[in-house]
Amino acid sequence: MGDTFQEVKEVIKDVLKIDGENINADTRFIEDLKADSMDQFFLIDGFCEKFDLTISDEDARNIKSVSDAVNYIETHRNN
């Protein structure tokens, strides 16, 4: 999870304009980072761009935390 986690964290910091100091695997986008629906859209878009992925709307709805994003990316990036 290490490298992917760091890359996901960088996307989050960039999109949400935060320092990211308190981001860990259990960090939730809405509850912990106060992301709204547009922020979530831009996060998913950022993950797609960074990791050269296509994330369906249905899959995007299930990505609610940093660990969800990391697990999804690690599962789908080489497929």
Give yes or no: 14 in active site. Answer: no
Catalytic choice (19, 36, 39, 45): 36
Written as six digits, the tokens of 9 are: 């964290």
Question: What are 28's strand-pairing partners?
Answer: 65
Active site residues: 36
